[in-house]
Amino acid sequence: MESDSPTSVRTTCPYCGVGCGVLATREESGVIGIAGDPHHPANFGRLCSKGSALGETVDLEGRLLEPRIDGEPASWDTALDLVAGRFAETIREHGPDSVAFYVSGQLLTEDYYVANKLMKGFIGSANIDTNSRLCMSSSVAGHRRAFGSDTVPGTYEDLELADLIVLTGSNLAWCHPVLYQRIAAAKARRPHMRIVLIDPRRTMTADIADMHLKIKPDGDTALFVGLLGYLAAQGAVDRTYLDRYTSGFDAALAIAKNHDLRSISARTGLSPEELREFFALVTRTERCVTIYSQGVNQSTSGTDKVNAIINCHLATGRIGRPGMGPFSVTGQPNAMGGREVGGLANMLASHMHLEDEDHRQLVQDFWASPTIACRPGLKAVDLFDAVREGKVKALWIMATNPVDSMPEADLIVEALKACPFVVVSDINAVTDTTRHGHVLLPAAAWGEKDGTVTNSERRISRQRPFLPLPGEAKPDWWIVTQVARRMGFATSFAYENPSQIFAEHAALSGTGNRGGRDFDISAHAAISGEGYNALQPFQWPQERGKSASEQRFFADGDFYTPDRRARLVAVHPANDEASDPRYPFVLNTGRVRDHWHTMTRTGKSARLSGHFAEPFAEIHPLDAAELGIGDATLVRLANDHGAIIVRALLTDRQARGNVFVPMHWTGQFASKARVDTLVTANLDPVSGQPALKMANVAVRSFQARWYGFAVMREKPASVEDYWALARTQAGFRLELASCEQPRDWSSFAQQLFQTEADVPLLAYHDHRQGQHRIAAFEGETLAGVLYVAREPVTVSRSWASEQLMQQFADAHQRYQLLAGKPGKNMPDKGAIVCACFSVGKNEIAAAARGGCHTVEAIGQTLKAGTNCGSCRAEIRGIIDANIVEAAE
């Protein structure tokens, strides 16, 4: 009798804030099949490259599978007793503010809720902050200043209904690809739609933009202050809306009137002609959505940027109606859920205000808690400063990696080393943060978790498990609850499953809420376990006793300020930072297309490393020429906080005087690439968000004596001045460089490949040219091959990596490998362009020369660009280059 076919589980993607629905299928073979959920209203079946590769990231290699105390395995009872005891003892001796939690937008809402409840309602401190502080807290602050609440007014549908989309501080094509594709499809259906990209870099998002404004870093406030003045001068403000629903317009406009076009041009770096064209386009287009993300938020003036954007929408009444409004796109899968439960140090659950005595009393009464935090806790940067200074003596880090993601990251290492007691809940045994934990607690990973997340359009979706908990791993909510019970709060943390936590969270959202708060999901306060399991994606608010509906906010006012009026905030354009001649370049950090945060998940997938397998710095070719930096050589970026070494990527997409370095590489994947070591901990004074997009650095060439590239079956142990490691389908690929030369290259290669001394080597040495090529074979299988040269090695990485899957039965094949180039029977697909279908640059180029002259034709022939579409701009560039080449 044949077994039943596998059943797909409907869950939600664990990457960005788009919140895509996923169908996960566990095959009998153990393979996890992944597909987009065609019925989920966030993505309608679309997935990006990262989402499509989720099945490749759920293995147990590197997992933390049992509690550890000082590096040694321990039982759960022992570990939990120790955590509870040390926290309780520290509180008794030094007070509740001597302990802290640092949590994450990777947590589920249920995890977030119990952690926040324990800290604020039972420990009695607000020292719980989240890595969302690093990405979205300026949006929270801007929303609260303008609306009186942290409310995203619109929906994803607005992005498809708009006649004009203004994208500022957002590389949507790479960071939120599914939203990008929804917009691209809408533009194809409605050719009159216009898109403006505001970004110092020409990112891949520019592919669909009708206008690209290469603004100076931190010029956004000035741009939107100038826009407000222009709108008023053209009579485009909505006086009826302003008079009926807002306050503060005159003060905001007074500042705008002080800055003419010449002033705005100087502050933004945009020409008066560019400004006039942009301002006129916005003025005449009513259905306008402004999408903003980290390029706006991660700034010392991030909150002012947010309010400058919102001011323009309020002044024109372009808010809360179809196809219009300001739209904050969140970076993490549950940054919004964290905000809903009060995960930030200056918030309470259910969007209640920590500074409001009535709100504090309401929450305390609902929780029946012995205390309630009465003042804001330490925000992320200040929290770790307090740890380093000895003020915080017990710290619990959950689902985040601050040693890599915080500004001045080396100071975070100092803080953790100085802290008497550090607890880390994580899924991985070895990260740059776990190595400093006194107690490590094994947490459940995606695929094992059971709970909810909220996406950027306020839509709550279920993350459902389809894998068993491995080893002794436990859900984060369970871990927090067990510690709370051991601290004496068993009655208030008697949860047995996440549905009970969600029901309590929903009930709190409706308690005492008579239209005074935006967040209300009390319709689900009586949800059962069965109802929770069947819960469909829904958008809040969903109030008790009211039928479910999707809605926008603020078209007819009804804001959440005391007078129910929105506030236009009078903001001044940011002043230029004083330059330091020692550090003349502005460093911008951010994401690449196929990796996520610190790669603890995406680093497991070979195809997600195919596009960018090592850290790099984008530098303008003219800047590089002045500095003597060649393409693909190594560069050293440094300032007073530290130094990194990365690969030079010369491109005119980058503005002169600026460099871009991705945030993803850690000590597990590269030798010296933790870019946030260079970011100064300069903060927005309102939100406390650090300016991760703007650090000052010096850039110079790193003078390596030799460069190397290797592929090998086993993970290497050797370390050089520079190395960067990435997965391949059958092993690893490794970039190397050093100022010192090994005495014996063959011994070096054997050590690198971790082969026995009696394994024969095939080698080529040209000492005069500094070229060395060494391969080791175990039978007919390649154990490893190393290519060394005085300049960056030019061998095809994708072709060399594929050789680990080949059989080498004859000498000719082996010598061809050593030659470093494929033979006629060894096709070279080239650098991976489409990660979804592993299509390389050479394959696309050949198809273009063969007559595929459109992206659609390439898609029909090779499938490239037909899934998430985030590679379509690169495909178009390859087509154009090869058509020109063919014509010549």
Q: Is pLDDT of 869 > 90?
A: no
Which pLDDT band holds residue 838 (cuts at 50, 70, 90)? Answer: confident
The DSSP secondary structure of 474-541, one letter per residue, reads B-HHHHHHHHHIIIIITGGG--SSHHHHHHHHHHHHHTT-SSS-S---GGGTT--HHHHHTPPPEES-
pLDDT in tens, 117-155: 999 999 999 999 999 999 999 999 999 999 999 999 999
- The size of the chain, in residues, is 888
Which pLDDT band holds residue 30 (cuts at 50, 70, 90)? Answer: confident
The DSSP secondary structure of 666-705, one letter per residue, reads -TTTBSS--GGGSS---B-TTT--B-TT-EEEEEEE---S
Q: Which two tokens stand for residue 447?
A: 């695929």
Q: Is pLDDT of 74 > 70?
A: yes
Spatial CB neighbours of 860, under 8 Å, sequence gap ≥ 6? 852
pLDDT in tens, 96-115: 999 999 999 999 999 999 99
Segments in 127-175 forming alpha helices (H)? 137-147, 156-161, 172-175
Q: Are 11 and 463 in contact (CB under 8 A)?
A: yes
CA torsion through residues 515, 516, 521, 523, sign = negative
pLDDT in tens, 586-645: 999 999 999 999 999 999 999 999 999 999 999 999 999 999 999 999 999 999 999 999
pLDDT in tens, 485-498: 999 999 999 999 99
Element holding 82 (H helix, E strand) = helix 76-94
Q: Is pLDDT of 888 > 60?
A: no
Q: Is pLDDT of 2 > 70?
A: no
pLDDT in tens, 525-542: 999 999 999 999 999 999
Mean pLDDT of all residues in 340-346: 96
Q: Is pLDDT of 264 > 60?
A: yes
**pTM across the whole model:** 0.96
Q: Is pLDDT of 27 > 80?
A: yes
**How many angstroms separate the CA atoms of 66 and 75, rounded?**
8
Mean pLDDT of all residues in 412-428: 98
Torsion of CA 577, 579, 583, 587, to 10 degrees: 30
Which pLDDT band holds residue 843 (cuts at 50, 70, 90)? Answer: confident
Spatial CB neighbours of 514, under 8 Å, sequence gap ≥ 6? none
Q: Which residue has the higher pLDDT, 329 or 840?
A: 329
Q: Is pLDDT of 4 > 90?
A: no
pLDDT of amino acid 5? 55
Type of residue at 634: L
Give the count of alpha carbons within 13 A of 245, CB side only: 25
pLDDT of amino acid 1? 31
pLDDT in tens, 529-581: 999 999 999 999 999 988 777 789 999 999 999 999 999 999 999 887 778 89
- Three-state DSSP at 167 gives strand
pLDDT of amino acid 651? 97
pLDDT in tens, 446-475: 999 999 999 999 999 999 999 999 999 999
Report the DSSP beta bridge partners of residue 776. Answer: 761, 784
Q: Are 469 and 448 in contact (CB under 8 A)?
A: yes
**How many angstroms separate the CA atoms of 211 and 163, rounded?**
14
pLDDT in tens, 781-829: 999 999 999 999 999 999 999 999 999 988 888 988 998 888 766 678 8
Q: Is pLDDT of 515 > 90?
A: no
- Three-state DSSP at 84 gives helix
Least confident of 657-671, 672-686, 867-881: 867-881
Mean pLDDT of all residues in the chain? 95
pLDDT of amino acid 795? 93
Mean pLDDT of all residues in 5-9: 82
pLDDT of amino acid 266? 96
**How many angstroms separate the CA atoms of 198 and 212, rounded?**
6
Percent of the chain with pLDDT over 90: 88
Tokens 């006629």 correspond to: 824
pLDDT of amino acid 825? 66
Mean pLDDT of all residues in 195-211: 96
pLDDT of amino acid 576? 75
Spatial CB neighbours of 451, under 8 Å, sequence gap ≥ 6? 108, 109, 110, 111, 462, 463, 475, 477, 498, 502
